Amino acid sequence: MAEPYEQALPGLSPHLVVNDASAAIDFYKAAFGATELTRHHTPDGKRIMHASLSINGGMLMLNDEFPEYSGGKRFAPDALGGSPVTLHLQVNDADLVFNQALAAGATVRFALQDQFWGDRYGQLTDPFGHIWSVGAAKKKMTA
């Protein structure tokens, strides 16, 4: 496991709730080349209270569901009928990242293709119900 980081990272860091945080960490490593920064288990070792990953220069935080602390309600995408949020990765090679995510277990939500705004762009749904978009600049467009 990675050593804890010493300083907070600037910017905005999404924090995901998933059904199986250990499996999600493995998926994000395989799909997006994530590096694990921290992983903190519950005292019984059965769930992850908090994990931090570095993906594409940004930080993603995640944890297992804890419905016992939210009135019995679940908040993972499968309990909510999906997610209204899309996490975007702007990369150099959209085909490479998109196909890597598919091979790791993601499903196509919006096929990867060249778009009118100049990017090669597509959307995936990860095995935990979170939506990811992948884009790479292909040509510079004018206003």
Report how many domains make up the chain. Answer: 1
Indicate whether 10 belongs to any domain.
no
* Token pair 């930080």: residue: 59
Look at residues 33, 22, 2 and name the one whose alpha carbon lies nearest to residue 132. 33
Indicate whether 5 belongs to any domain.
no
Indicate whether 8 belongs to any domain.
no
CA-based end-to-end distance of the chain: 46
Q: Are 108 and 124 in contact (CB under 8 A)?
A: yes
Domain of residue 25 covers 15-67+82-137
pTM of the full structure: 0.89
Q: Collect all residues with Cβ–Cβ distance below 8 Å to 109 and sequence separation of at least 6.
A: 122, 123, 124, 125, 131
Per-residue pLDDT of the chain (143 residues; tens, 9 = 90+): 555 545 555 678 999 999 999 999 999 999 999 999 999 999 999 999 999 999 999 999 999 999 999 999 999 999 999 999 999 999 999 999 999 999 999 999 999 999 999 999 999 999 999 999 999 999 888 87
Q: What is the CATH number of the domain that holds 120?
A: 3.10.180.10
Indicate whether 9 belongs to any domain.
no
* Token pair 């995936």: residue: 124
Indicate whether 75 belongs to any domain.
no
